[in-house]
Structure 1
Amino acid sequence: MEDASASANWLQELLGLMGYTASVNTSLMEASPSQVASNSQNYWLEISTEGLQEQQIQRLIGQDGAVIDSLQYLANTLLNSHLPSDSNQSESHRQNHNFYTVELNGYRSKHLASLHELAEQAVQQVRETQTEFALKHLSSADRRYIHQLLESFPDIETHSQGKEPNRHLIVKLVQS
């Protein structure tokens, strides 16, 4: 749990630099099938609301989750900075990549529940229409989450298409 402690300390220090006094609790979440194969961990970094005013909580979440998403992006980038940035990195280095989810006041849990619902609606539409469906305006973390969710559907496949900031997720039936 050395990574968990370091990640909580890092986020707590960053919040302090931003002018917020808040503690961070860390827990280890269940890994996806691809993470189990690669020894990656999924850490949940929960910012305590104790001592934060409602206005401060809203600022830390930001409009449409922009601030909390940025904190999560920074966590994933900086806390995995020990890895080479080369896309041809060795398998052993990829195995050490951890995933960090930043939570505050239930925002992330509600957001993930809405993504789960969106994924289920996409699967239903693809099955009914027999055509692919594009999910637009998702962050890379949201696209990864839906990819992982839909891995359990044997008749469905997903891939990302396009370039940022217009990258989107395609959901379609597996071609037989």
Structure 2
Amino acid sequence: MRSVEKVGKTVNDAVTEALIELGASTEEVDIEIITKGSKGLLGFGARDAKVRVTLKAPAEVEPQIEVISEVKEDVKVANANKETETVAPPKSSKVKNKEKKDSEDAVVVTRDELAHVQALAEEFLYKLLREMNIEATVKSEVVNNNRLSIGFEGKSMGVVIGKRGETLDAIQYIVNIVANKGRTEYVKIMLDTENYRARREETLKKLAYKLSKKAQQSKKPIILEPMNPYDRRIIHSALQDSKIVKTHSEGKEPFRRVVITPNYQNKSYR
């Protein structure tokens, strides 16, 4: 059977990367932990975790009948505590998306303010990249007259991206803080390089579509590995208009995960 080896800061990170590549859920694979990894002391001597993930033969996949009721109970509890990220029905989701867009576009920023934030962001990024011994060109553009999109071009961009985009996300967080310091109207800044975010989004969407079909065919919920909020939103968004499955998130950070559940109200399940 097909097998892949992946590394990550934690075993969960490594397993998630393997599942994305295999397009499978945890119930459909065998997981072998090669090294657990370690944080080291004060960041020194840290080691990544390494796993080998192998697809099971179709007959080896265990039934999940008991899991369905457990998942439904979790949804009820989560809804009661208002901690569940849910995807509304198609009509409602469009309204929410419109409200979100209107909310973002409602932020009014003058050209001078945007230019000021843009200059601060670029200046800080050049300094940061220089400290990282990375030569790169920074290009930024204004989006919807109130946000900034900044891209990098150069060598060693893998270092800027980091594992699963963690370094890129960290840099983006810091840039937003530095460039918006002292401001009342927050200017959102998005960073990207080598089209990483688009490629990552496409990979997660393909995984979402593939697992939604598996959930429909098996009539059983599929639980994904823990993901960050950005990746979870991609999964939710990809399936928000689906008539065959529903999605929600459960658990607490940093172990919060997406659950893809068959839509039992769909006629195909009757």
TM-score (norm 2): 0.45
Which residue of 144, 160, 165 maps to 2:249? 160
Structure 1 residues 145, 71: closer, same or farther in 2, change over 3 A? farther
Structure 1 residues 76, 19: closer, same or farther in 2, change over 3 A? closer
Which residue of 124, 128, 140 maps to 1:14? 124
Kindly state the Cα deviation for residue 99 of structure 1 after the two structures are TM-superposed.
6.6
The residue aligned with 2:166 is 66
Partner SS, residue 138 of structure 1: coil
Partner SS, residue 201 of structure 2: helix
Q: In 2, distance between residues paired with 1:67 and 1:169?
A: 23
Q: In 2, distance between residues paired with 1:126 and 1:77?
A: 41
The residue aligned with 1:38 is none
Q: How many residues align?
A: 148
Which residue of 204, 214, 237 maps to 1:115? 204
Structure 2: tracts of 5 or more residues without a match: 1-107, 131-135, 266-270
Structure 1 residues 154, 99: closer, same or farther in 2, change over 3 A? farther
The residue aligned with 1:88 is none
Pick 1 or 2: higher relative contact order, CA cutoff 8 A, min separation 6: 2
The residue aligned with 1:104 is 193
Structure 1 residues 163, 117: closer, same or farther in 2, change over 3 A? same
Conserved in 2, the CA contact under 8 Å of 1:133 and 1:172?
yes
Greater Rg, structure 1 or structure 2? 2
TM-score (norm 1): 0.65
Task: Map 1:133-148; keep pairs closer than 5 Å.
Answer: 133-148=222-237
Structure 1: tracts of 5 or more residues without a match: 30-40, 84-95
- Which stretch shifts more, 107-116 or 67-76? 67-76
Task: Map 1:46-65; keep pairs closer than 5 Å.
Answer: 46-49=150-153, 52=154, 54-55=155-156, 57-65=157-165
Structure 1 residues 97, 173: closer, same or farther in 2, change over 3 A? farther
Q: In 1, distance between residues paired with 2:261 and 2:186?
A: 28
| 1:13 aligned partner, one-letter code | E
Structure 1 residues 167, 103: closer, same or farther in 2, change over 3 A? same
Q: In 2, distance between residues paired with 1:122 and 1:147?
A: 12
The residue aligned with 1:130 is 219
Q: For residues 62-104 of structure 1, give each alpha carbon's deviation from its aligned partner in whole angstroms, at most 9, with x where no partner exists.
A: 1332211223445677889978xxxxxxxxxxxx998754210
Q: For residues 8-37 of structure 1, give each alpha carbon's deviation from its aligned partner in whole angstroms, at most 9, with x where no partner exists.
A: 4454233123134632323649xxxxxxxx
Q: For residues 112-135 of structure 1, give each alpha carbon's deviation from its aligned partner in whole angstroms, at most 9, with x where no partner exists.
A: 111111111111111111111112
Structure 1 residues 18, 80: closer, same or farther in 2, change over 3 A? closer
Kindly state the Cα deviation for residue 152 of structure 1 after the two structures are TM-superposed.
1.7
RMSD: 3.4
Structure 1 residues 101, 118: closer, same or farther in 2, change over 3 A? farther
Kindly state the Cα deviation for residue 158 of structure 1 after the two structures are TM-superposed.
1.1
Kindly state the Cα deviation for residue 45 of structure 1 after the two structures are TM-superposed.
2.1
Partner SS, residue 19 of structure 1: helix
Identity %: 20
1:23 aligns with 2:123: no
Q: In 1, distance between residues paired with 2:213 and 2:177?
A: 34
Kindly state the Cα deviation for residue 170 of structure 1 after the two structures are TM-superposed.
0.7
Q: In 1, distance between residues paired with 2:186 and 2:249?
A: 20
Kindly state the Cα deviation for residue 146 of structure 1 after the two structures are TM-superposed.
1.4
